[in-house]
Chains A and B, each alone.
Chain A
């Protein structure tokens, strides 16, 4: 409530800053240095509706098409790959108080995606609505020293999962595009947790969630016939525990988080295919408001996945622990600085992602080389009025994947041409968004 006594410009600055910091979502940068106007409004008004629409355009050029298929036909030129994607997600969120102590949030999110790609001499495209997520979160504020919350989200399969013919090539490199696929099955995700305020400026959080992922079909190959058919995919379910600690005072925000994920087996046509190893992620972030106009944020995360359990050629048992870890460690860094003047905010952004090579021998078909991605760009936001804001974000991306050596093919030894040279890619991302609150 103190923010109501601040000058109007400071209010607008706080609102813009918070919106730029990902709309009050996840990282330490999400903990704005100034109280958020929208939150003050939620306290004064019992209900608030937020509609957000983003149009994201991605384009990329690579020295090799994606996916990087081994043993391509000699006629395949292995020429450069390129593509583009327009991803248009939109969402409606309703925040309110059912009673003085019970907060309620409803979320509906869907979208549309157009994707085209040329890879290995094949050009193709696909367009479809995305899946639709419906969610609700209940938060109880009636207990001093503890804030329990519960959430239930459901992914409804409104997207396209079967891409027949060459359309499957429209699925792009996840590091260069907005979405790597266009649909899944019915997924149901409950989460429960508690926030434990240690002081008014420091809060610990403990939560756990389960993601039940439903079966869906996608294109496949009919065994022995070789013709294209469909397969039934049942992805593994996830059980996750998360703990976090956040602090904010005097313009400084700090956040530390740890997440552990257990995943069950993934099945194809009812047969267990693999079970992803346990996944642990440690992330942290810091933000600082240098002056009322200038602020900076830095967020980092590190993810490690244990060895998978894979199909056993000499079953039973059907699955065994793989000989080496086929997963890579992933390190991510995101930094930004924001200058706010009146209802306008602008600032540079930078990102870095490093996926190290996996533990398999480089001459193994299972070897995954290291991949490094850099991004640099800028973001801007304009608060049109008390209800509406516009955002613009543009980034250039540089991606480099190390050489993948030729492969050892049993008694035949190293097969020339079965590997890949280092792959370099560049790309653009431009996002235009609008948010209306009423």
Chain B
């Protein structure tokens, strides 16, 4: 009798908890969620994703980098002066013993 009561109580508890657990597992977050299922601030993940693309594609395009123009002012990427001076200035490039021929 006592064992039956415990089993019954356990079943009731499980029945009560299962939907909660299931709904927690199915809860939708705007973006990522932690390992415990907590929703992560979407501003953080979105900014990190954009940052990753900006930093890993620094030289994809000098005139049309992969972001909206309004985001340009927030990007701190140092100019590669070696490339500026060799590829983009007058006189044109040509064979040279050093890369940075122009002071």
**A residues at B contact (CB < 8 Å):** 1, 18-19, 21-27, 29-32, 35-36, 39-40, 42-43, 50, 52-54, 66-70, 89-91, 93, 100, 103, 107, 109-111, 113, 130-133, 135, 137, 139, 141, 144-147, 149, 151, 153, 155, 159, 168-169, 171, 174-175, 179-184, 187, 189, 191, 193, 195, 197-203, 205, 207-209, 211, 213, 218-221, 223, 231, 233, 235, 238, 240-242, 244, 246-248, 255, 257, 259, 261, 266, 268, 271, 273-274, 276, 279, 281, 283, 299-301, 303, 305, 308, 310-313, 322, 326-328, 330, 332, 334, 355, 358, 360, 365-369, 391, 393, 404, 407, 419-420, 431, 433, 435
Contact = CB atoms under 8 A, between A and B. Distances in A.
A198 B40 CA distance: 9
A66 B90 CA distance: 9
Contacts, number: 381
Contacts of B30: 1, 39-40, 42-43
A110 B64 contact: yes
Interface string B51-94: 11111111111111111111111111111111111111111111
Nearest to A109: B64
Contact of A153 (B32, B39, B60, B68): B60
**Residue of B70, B78, B93 with most partner-chain A CB within 10 A:** B70
Given A153-B53, A330-B78, A39 B61 contact: no
B19 interface: no
B100 interface: yes
**3 nearest CB pairs, A to B:** A22-B74, A209-B56, A145-B35
B97 A21 contact: no
Given A43-B30, A197-B40, A334-B76, A219 B103 contact: no
A200 B38 CA distance: 6
Given A133-B66, A200-B39, A273 B86 contact: yes
Contact of A30 (B35, B74, B91, B97): B74
A30 B75 CA distance: 10
B61 A131 contact: yes
Contact of B74 (A26, A35, A211, A366): A26
**Residue of B36, B42, B63, B91 with most partner-chain A CB within 10 A:** B63
Given A132-B64, A183-B63, A368 B81 contact: yes
Given A183-B63, A240-B56, A283 B70 contact: no
Interface of B: 28-103
Given A144-B36, A308-B99, A312-B97, 14 more contacts: A25-B54, A39-B43, A109-B67, A111-B63, A184-B63, A200-B34, A200-B40, A209-B56, A219-B92, A223-B94, A257-B55, A310-B96, A322-B98, A407-B103
**Residue of A169, A200, A223, A358 with most partner-chain B CB within 10 A:** A200
Contacts of B44: 31, 201-203, 246-248
A24 B86 contact: no
Nearest to B92: A220
A204 to B, nearest CB: 8
**Residue of A18, A202, A268, A369 with most partner-chain B CB within 10 A:** A268
Given A26-B76, A36-B42, A276-B82, A197 B57 contact: no
Given A168-B92, A174-B84, A22 B63 contact: no
A391 B71 CA distance: 12
Contact of B100 (A130, A358, A435): A358
A261 B43 contact: no
18 contacts: A22-B75, A24-B46, A25-B75, A31-B47, A39-B43, A39-B46, A70-B102, A89-B63, A90-B69, A141-B31, A187-B60, A208-B56, A209-B56, A240-B56, A268-B94, A274-B99, A326-B99, A365-B101
Given A39-B42, A180-B79, A240 B58 contact: yes
A118 to B, nearest CB: 13
A240 B50 contact: no
B71 A26 contact: yes
B34 A145 contact: yes
Contacts of B34: 144-145, 197-200
Contact of B62 (A103, A151, A181, A201): A181
Given A30-B51, A365-B101, A368-B100, A327 B60 contact: no
Nearest to B90: A168
B79 A276 contact: no
A248 B17 CA distance: 32
Contacts of B70: 19, 22-23, 52, 54, 391, 433, 435
B61 to A, nearest CB: 4
